Chain A
Amino acid sequence: MAARWSSENVVVEFRDAQATAMSVDCLGSHAVLSGRRFLYMVNLEAPSEPPRKIGRQSKWDVGTVQWNPHKSESHVFAASSNQRVDLYSWRGGCGEVHTSLQGHTRVISDLDWSWFEPEFLVTSSVDTYIYIWDTRDTRKPTVALSAVAGASQVKWNKKNPNLLASSHDGDVRIWDRRKPNTAAEYLAAHLSKIHGLDWHPDNEFVLATSSQDNSVRFWDYRQPRKYLNILPCQVPVWKARYTPFSNGLVTVMVPQLRRENSLLLWSTLDLNSPVHAFVGHDDVVLEFRWRPQKEGSKDYQLVTWSRDQTLRIWRVDPQLQRLCVSDVVEDQMEDMSLTVESEKSLSSQEPESQHSVAAAAGNLQDSGGSLGSGARQDSVLGSGLPQTLQQEFSLVNLQIRNVNVEMDAVNCSCVVSAHFGSHQVHLVVKFPAQYPNNAAPTFQFVSPTTIPSAMRTKIQKILTDTSLQKVKRNQNCLEPCVRQLVSCLESDMTQEDGPPSGPFVLSNPVTPALQAFPRVTNTYGSYQDANIPFPRTSGARFCGTGCLMYFTRPITMHRSAPPTEPTPRSLSALSAYHSGVLTPMKMRSESQSTLRLYSGSPTRSDKDTVSISSFYYKERKSRRFKTKREGADYGNRPIKLAGKVIIQEISCLLAVHKALGESYILNVNDIQDTCQQNAASALAVGRRDVAKVWALASAATNQDLSPDSDPDTETPWARHPFGRHLLETLLDHYSRMSDVQTLAMLCSVFRTQAPPPDCYSLYGHQPSRSTMSPPQHSRYPSYTSGSLTSGSCSSTSDSITTTTWNPGRDSDHVNPWGESSPDDGRYGNPGYTDPREREREQHDMNKRLLDPANTLQFDDFKKCYGEILYRWGLREKRADVLKFASCPPEPHKGIEFGLYCCHCRSQARGTQCAVCKRLTFQCAICHVAVRGSSNFCLSCGHGGHTSHMMDWFRQQDECPTGCGCHCLLQSTF
């Protein structure tokens, strides 16, 4: 560590200040120290002068204080005090509060002035809101960002006036103030609470976070899943902020034993060791700020305030500043061994891109850091190229099994040694001076390389090609080349050795195999993921038919957070509750200062595995119980983390009853009796309403009301207000109650009642459906059974099908169907050949109490009830109910003949043409339209009535039309 001890600093003690926060104004002339009773104004030009004071009346400490960073408003500073922000103005040696911002409902955790608009201030609070204030209108915030989780830090982006970052436990959210509803991006940044957040001074996309989890991480928020780089520390990091000069970073640690209260200066290019330590403070450093550079001076000054009540001013001269720039890397390059390098790469997954960020930032700084250069910087960042060979060496990621790379930056060369099975490869790579600017390195195999020369040549060519490709674009090529080499060797060796042995035999002990990154890093218990929802610890589920199963958090486990605070939404919140019995509640009861400072930063070891139970505070059972029961044994018993699962019988809440399911009957032969018995059953379980319904059902199914088959005699009972209408009203009522039991039973009973009590008709064809929807079975009238195998084709007309399907149908139904094609309905032809038939059909519809239009819905009721009966184990009852469900026959699957109407030549399906309404084809023999069963020749397409065809081909083998087709030979009839 190239630590140089800064000799020159200013130390001023303010014994009585008890200040918790400090800020330096943008002119560099004043620092404000905020104590509970006074704000002290320190003149930085003459710090030892007694400070001027501004009195304040508050029982709260000042949380954060910050000067307005704009020269025009340099007399204004903001100080947060509990839920309020006071805006002070400091003019002519005296200051006063000129306005206050009130809006937060809980303590304000951080505030930040905008870098672009002098009037804008952002505040974050534990109350989960982030408010952006326009100080010209202090009544309410102009923008409110709802984060749901309380924020600990909030910072404006230094390059983009609309962007903000806030930290919430271990997460960082990036906000665009124009879209206040949700965060623009989430970073699951840390395992534990984030204490500090700082945007890169020159790069719009990069920020640094410091956390309780002993690390500083660097992020490009466009890649929220991976950090750019990590600075691992031994202790929690309180703050990490970029320096105003390039590539520097200052950190303040939370010391373990309050011994090393130093500030460390790092180069972001090399995070292995700090470049400088500012040693001097005797207690925790509470705040540090950079004093703006004086004109003409190259020095920067760091102003620090510590709990030891001293203000120190440290000079950072150009020499020290330069330590943060890249030549440091060169200095340290030689003694940096490869092992160190690989360890570092292991911990940082994206060293290359991090580097480029830093390098780009360096560039930018040199060029003056104007806004316009942001784009260029971005492009540099995108290409991700280290500038020099040294940098490439230091950042190259070569975690490859069985491969070792020795890099020699001074001689611009490196040796790649690899072991594959029995083969060894040693390759010297020499880099030209201009590398990587369109100058490719050379590759040379040296002894003891054991691979055959043919392969050497081949590999050499591949490597040269690869490197040329890269350097053409001024990109460096070491890593791609080495990977190329490995894949070449791998494929060749696999061929050579045969598949079983494989290239990566770990036989060679010379180079320990480095494990590649495992896909699933062992992060169980780390809960770093911010997008994984916080686990449920209670739940309730309805199970089976009448059970409610629920589990809750055990009574002994209390929320660590007060109940007013919502349960966190993300699992990453757990990291804040790392070790069991936790502090938030206690901390709140303590003074404000302790809450703000180092809140959640107790230096405990985080060795315990994290579990969801860590979130809850386990209460030891109180003594009262201890004495009452089990005595001393009680205290030793481990506290149960899992609660009990309780199963409740809640069937009384449901509208369906198992008892009714058991006792309900469905007797087709005596509907009256069925209704009466069911009414009694309903009464027995206390469903008086259902009992009445059964009484009504009994009345409605009375034989006296059964419809006459002749439509002319009287209006059927179904048309009466107490007929179908009553039933519909009942069904509607029980639908609202979700009483599927009553619904299904009613549907079943009235289903039996509607048509003449004929068992078959329940399953068979329901004539009524044909008008509402085409009859299923007649959809494909030319259904041919086995036509595929026989090769013959027989068409069956509808009258036959209908009768086949309805063997037990009443005679008065058969006749009309035999006369008219059911396709009438399908093709929208209302023209019944016989008006009497239509009337009869209408009558058939009308006399039903259940509206046939809803048959399918009624079936669904029955199916649903059947399912419930099944769960109850009442399978016979289920069968009883499902008997009444209509079962549409299987749809036709197979070959269907397309027909051209013999009259109008339009394409038709079935026996009647949809266009001309005439029967589509004539028998080749009798020249009469075919309606019934027909056969056709597959070859010539002629055919006719099956009986005629049978007769004809008994003697003949040519087509009856005389077309010359040998139908019997062409297609077997």
Chain B
Amino acid sequence: MVSVINTVDTSHEDMIHDAQMDYYGTRLATCSSDRTVKIFDVRNGGQILVADLRGHEGPVWQVAWAHPMFGNILASCSYDRKVIVWKEENGAWDKMYEYTGHESSVNSVCWGPYEFGLILACGSSDGAISLLTFTGDQQWDVKKISNAHTIGCNAVSWAPAVVPGSLIDQPSGQKPNYVKRFVSGGCDNLVKLWKEEDGQWKEDQKLEAHSDWVRDVGWAPSIGLPTSTIASCSQDGRVFIWTCDDPAGNTWTTKLLHKFNDVVWHVSWSITGNILAVSGGDNKVTLWKESMDGQWACISDVSKGQGAVSTITDTQQNEQRRSQCQTRSNYRKQTEEEKSEAGDFNFYLNHFQ
């Protein structure tokens, strides 16, 4: 059963904007409007503050862990237009690189798959996307896609390192010929796919469906199936799932996951790419799962302090459970409000039926 294994009190002085755990799930990095990034060791339910990284001069929007084969490396981006790459050396965290090439707030950072080396994509409100590649010896190669999104870029997410069309007819005998691809979302209401060709980044696809700013995009991890999947969410409250079965990656079909009542800020894929966590301005977290017949259904609802309410299905049983949830959460609110801060997590659809 789903259980809370840890509750970390970050002691940030202002609101938290992002949190992410490392590859092994042993460390948690958080960032906040208080301009700091904190790293906690959360093994065995503990919470030990490992580092309090100061260096940003504005609210820090997002953090991203690099693959551990490169060491313990964390990237953060901020309103102060900077991207900072932090590295742990001999137990001490320090700045490894600071990138100041953006002219407005940097809203999103994402490390590429380890197969590509240490490569970071950064999306900024100046409309540009930067790709920072570590070339060894303290050197970083910077490539910039100017005007990737008019008005601003809000999110970037890398495609898993799969050879395009590989699973069907890969020219054998060659080293896998990975093509670097990522997806971005911006204030032009567009989701755009980018591809590297001969060292140059080119716009590959433009996906239109949202009617307002795209706030987050997530490229689903691959388990070896030839389908590519992308989730995008927007200010318009909609979450779309984009899929592409075409090995050339040209034909994308879209499916509306759900229309929420408020802005959706974040989408995150599970490791097997079949569960999507959605969170937004309504202060709720919902989990969505694709059923065997390709339909998306809400399998959970994490809502904080507002009681667990969900209106996905209308069966009697669920109705009952929901009311139970509400009464329980109300009761809890009154008795141990500290705990209710931790939220309720109710599953009412058993996913293995």
Residues on A close to B: CB < 8 A? 146, 148, 181-182, 186, 520, 524, 529, 531-555, 557, 563, 566-567, 569, 571, 611-613, 616, 621, 624-625, 641-650, 652-656, 733, 735-740, 743, 769, 773-777, 779, 854, 856-861, 863-864, 868, 871, 873, 888-891
Contact = CB atoms under 8 A, between A and B. Distances in A.
B172 A743 contact: no
Given A520-B80, A531-B187, A777-B173, 19 more contacts: A524-B80, A534-B263, A536-B265, A539-B279, A540-B268, A548-B287, A567-B263, A625-B337, A644-B8, A645-B16, A646-B342, A647-B21, A653-B287, A653-B351, A738-B272, A773-B170, A773-B172, A775-B172, A860-B162
Interface residues of B, number: 109
A293 B3 CA distance: 76
A625 B338 CA distance: 11
A644 B175 contact: no
B70 interface: no
A512 B154 CA distance: 42
B195 to A, nearest CB: 20
A383 B20 CA distance: 53
Interface string B197-233: 0000000000000011101000001111110000000
Contacts of A868: 271
Contacts of B164: none
Given A548-B277, A613-B15, A654-B272, A645 B212 contact: no
29 contacts: A529-B105, A532-B152, A534-B281, A535-B17, A536-B265, A537-B17, A538-B281, A539-B265, A540-B285, A540-B302, A542-B275, A544-B25, A548-B277, A549-B20, A550-B285, A551-B30, A552-B279, A552-B343, A611-B59, A642-B15, A645-B19, A645-B30, A650-B2, A733-B292, A736-B292, A738-B274, A776-B172, A860-B222, A873-B24
A545 B304 CA distance: 24
A539 B23 contact: no
Contacts of B59: 535, 611-612
Contacts of B72: none
A929 B11 CA distance: 81
Interface of B: 1-25, 28, 30, 32-34, 42, 57-59, 61, 79-81, 104-105, 107, 125, 151-152, 154, 162, 166-167, 169-175, 187, 189, 211-213, 215, 221-226, 235-237, 261-263, 265-266, 268-275, 277-285, 287, 289, 292, 299-300, 302-305, 334, 337, 340-343, 345, 351
Contacts of B211: 146, 181
> Which 5 A-B pairs rank lowest in CB-CB distance, beginning with the nearest?
A544-B25, A776-B173, A860-B224, A567-B281, A555-B305
A871 B69 CA distance: 12
Contacts of B263: 534, 566-567, 569
Contact of B275 (A654, A769, A858): A654
A640 to B, nearest CB: 8
Given A544-B23, A566-B263, A776-B173, A641 B13 contact: yes
Contacts of A547: 5, 21, 25
Given A533-B215, A737-B292, A861-B224, A551 B170 contact: no
B14 A642 contact: yes
B187 A656 contact: no
A105 to B, nearest CB: 15
Contacts of A652: 1-2
Given A566-B237, A740-B223, A776-B173, A646 B271 contact: no
Contact of B274 (A146, A737, A857): A737
B14 A612 contact: yes
B274 A655 contact: yes
Given A646-B8, A653-B287, A889 B270 contact: no
A743 B302 CA distance: 31
Nearest to A735: B225
Contacts of B12: 641-642
B104 A550 contact: no
Given A625-B337, A873-B24, A538 B213 contact: no
B56 to A, nearest CB: 10
A768 to B, nearest CB: 12
B165 to A, nearest CB: 11
Nearest to B150: A531
Contacts of A624: 334
A653 B299 CA distance: 9
A146 B211 CA distance: 10
A644 B343 CA distance: 10
B212 A148 contact: yes
Given A544-B21, A648-B2, A552 B304 contact: yes
Given A549-B19, A552-B285, A654-B271, A186 B151 contact: yes
Nearest to A533: B154
A547 to B, nearest CB: 5
A649 B79 CA distance: 32
B81 to A, nearest CB: 7
Contacts of A773: 169-172
A888 B177 CA distance: 13
Interface centre among B23, B25, B57, B289 (most CB of A within 10 A): B25
Contacts of B13: 641-642
A533 B263 CA distance: 11
A872 B104 CA distance: 39
Nearest to A864: B223
A187 to B, nearest CB: 12
Contacts of A571: 105
Given A646-B342, A868-B271, A531 B104 contact: yes
B133 to A, nearest CB: 22
Given A776-B172, A854-B167, A864-B224, A545 B14 contact: no
A644 B10 contact: yes
Contacts of A545: 25, 271
